[in-house]
């Protein structure tokens, strides 16, 4: 087997596990790469193939199913998706994409795989819908088109089909540039009073560690002990002190008026970070949005009393739906009396009374943020 085909063979193995066990792509890929004796170039190829096929699954299936009349064995479908992805979304030459994939098929299916992939390589495509072409569930495309407008939504969806690595901060932590901009808002100058910064939903610790590195006293809280262990290992790597508290932010143990700044970087549908979480688009369900937006509102309501009068409260989410973001902000302002700090600095776009960064704005993740001064 050539080196590249070892990469393809590993990609098929990992994709098989993701499909059969509904495993998380990143959780299967990392140990598989660590155990394989591949060089960096081949590891990069495995990563590209696994994340690419996972993202473009729906589009690949459309391209394949035009030439199939029977139900496909799952292993054969995986091989065909692998070949189709290379043919349509990479610069790998057609003959290498076809031959490299066909050689991994079970003996009884090589003829079929060869015939289908050759047709996929040759035939022109007439995409039935944008959701199929961009490879998303229908509801995500419909929701974002209605919330952001058709053109911006399509740009965002296209952008989230490409890979992008996080950028190292000065202290060495890898953080996406949009998340760094939320950290900047948390640390913005202003007369916010004295007292610690509380991060109510801190894991894995990106924003909390950034504030510590900038010299702020921070308490990192999260409902998940398992995820707080990630904060601990990250703070050990960065050599910073970050007190950790396991707590449900909807019923927080902190004293009222204790903090100068509080951030609720809330659990959300994650529709702004689909480029990083390749399989997330197939997991999240439209009904989840209601549950998540209710939780975000509860977290905000319980966070506000912790902030000193005149202090700063930040609500941020890595998603792009209006039900979360603007919807939660409107409900929050109906319940409590807070001064909103509108007009966020460039590059934040105006989004209701807060701001949003779309993935295409900075070639980053998508984030939305709302800043309040406590009464």
Ligand X SMILES: C[S@@+](CC[C@H](N)C(=O)[O-])C[C@H]1O[C@@H](n2cnc3c(N)ncnc32)[C@H](O)[C@@H]1O
Q: How far apart are CA 58 and CA 55, in angstroms?
A: 8
Contact positions with ligand X (CB under 6 A) in 221-240: 222-224, 227
CB nearer to ligand X: pick between 55 and 207: 207
Options 4, 26, 110, 250; binder of ligand X; rule CB under 6 A: 250
Nearer to ligand X, 82 or 292 (CB): 292
Sketch the per residue contact string, 121 through 160, with ligand X: x for CB under 6 A, - otherwise.
----------------------------------------
- Closest CB to ligand X among 144 and 202? 202
| Residue selected from 249, 272, 311, 359 as contacting ligand X according to rule CB under 6 A | 249
Rounded-to-integer distance, Cα 229 and Cα 17, Å: 26
Q: Which of 6, 142, 248, 258 binds ligand X (CB under 6 A)?
A: 248
CB of 83 or CB of 205, closer to ligand X? 205
> Is 120:60 a contact under the CB 8 Å cutoff?
no
Candidates 205, 177, 184, 141; CA nearest to 359 is 177
Return phi, psi of residue 266, to 5°.
-80, 155
**303 binds ligand X per the rule CB under 6 A:** no
Q: Which three-class secondary structure state does DSSP give residue 307?
A: strand
C-alpha distance from residue 40 to each of 35, 44, 148, 269 (Å): 13, 6, 39, 33
Stretch that binds ligand X, among 45-53, 133-141, 198-206, 274-282 (CB under 6 A): 198-206
When asked if residue 83 is in the footprint of ligand X (CB under 6 A), the reply is no
Site membership for ligand X, residue 365 (CB under 6 A) = no
User: Which residue stretch of 146-154, 204-212, 323-331, 333-341 sits at the interface with ligand X (rule: CB under 6 A)?
Assistant: 204-212
Per rule CB under 6 A, is residue 202 in the interface with ligand X? yes
Tell me which stretch binds ligand X (CB under 6 A): 18-26, 188-196, 245-253, 366-374. Answer: 245-253
Q: Are 83 and 102 in contact (CB under 8 A)?
A: yes
In whole angstroms, what is the distance from residue 82 CA to residue 97 CA?
8
Q: Which of 52, 100, 195, 204 is close enough to bind ligand X by CB under 6 A?
A: 204
Is position 205 an interface residue for ligand X (rule: CB under 6 A)? yes
CB of 243 to ligand X, least distance (A): 15
Question: According to CB under 6 A, which one of 81, 130, 143, 207 is a site residue for ligand X?
Answer: 207
Among residues 89, 86, 87, the alpha carbon closest in space to that of 121 is found at: 87
Which window, 121-129, 199-207, 329-337, 340-348, contacts ligand X (CB under 6 A)? 199-207
Note whether 267 binds ligand X by CB under 6 A.
Answer: yes
Contact 54, 281 (CB under 8 A): no
Q: Give the interface with ligand X as residue ranges (CB under 6 A).
A: 179, 199-207, 222-224, 227, 248-250, 265, 267
């Amino acid at each position: 087997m050539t080196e590249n085909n070892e990469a393809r063979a590993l990609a098929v193995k990992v994709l098989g596990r993701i499909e059969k066990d509904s495993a998380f792509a990143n959780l299967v890929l990392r140990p598989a790469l660590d155990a394989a004796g591949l060089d960096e170039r081949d590891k990069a190829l495995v990563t590209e193939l696994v994340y690419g096929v996972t993202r473009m699954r729906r589009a690949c299936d459309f391209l394949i199913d035009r030439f199939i009349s029977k139900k496909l064995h799952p292993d054969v479908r995986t091989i065909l998706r692998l070949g189709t992805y290379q043919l349509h979304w990479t610069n790998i030459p057609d003959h290498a994409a076809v031959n490299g994939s066909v050689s991994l098929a079970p003996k009884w299916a090589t003829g079929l795989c060869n015939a289908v992939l050759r047709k996929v390589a040759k035939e022109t495509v007439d995409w039935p819908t944008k959701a199929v072409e961009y490879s998303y569930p229908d509801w995500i495309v419909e929701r974002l088109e209605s919330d952001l407008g058709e053109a911006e939504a399509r740009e965002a969806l296209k952008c989230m089909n490409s890979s992008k690595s996080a950028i190292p901060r000065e202290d060495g932590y890898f953080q996406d540039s949009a998340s760094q901009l939320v950290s900047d808002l948390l640390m913005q100058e202003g007369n916010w009073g004295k007292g610690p910064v509380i991060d109510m939903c801190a894991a894995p610790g990106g924003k909390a560690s950034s504030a510590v590195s900038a010299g702020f006293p921070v308490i990192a809280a999260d409902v998940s002990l398992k995820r707080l262990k990630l904060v601990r290992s990250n703070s050990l790597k960065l050599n910073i002190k970050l007190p950790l508290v396991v707590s449900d932010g909807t019923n927080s143990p902190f004293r009222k008026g204790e903090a100068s700044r509080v951030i609720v970087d809330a659990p959300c549908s994650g529709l702004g970070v689909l480029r990083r979480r390749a399989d997330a688009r197939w997991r999240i369900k439209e009904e989840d949005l209601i549950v998540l937006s209710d939780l975000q509102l509860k977290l905000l309501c319980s966070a506000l009393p912790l902030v000193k009068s005149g202090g700063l409260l930040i609500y941020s989410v890595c998603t792009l739906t209006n039900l979360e973001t603007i919807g939660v902000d409107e409900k929050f302002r109906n319940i409590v009396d807070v001064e909103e700090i509108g007009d966020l600095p460039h590059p934040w776009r105006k989004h209701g009374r807060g701001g949003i960064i779309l993935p295409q704005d900075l070639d980053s993740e998508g984030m939305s943020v709302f800043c309040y001064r406590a009464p």
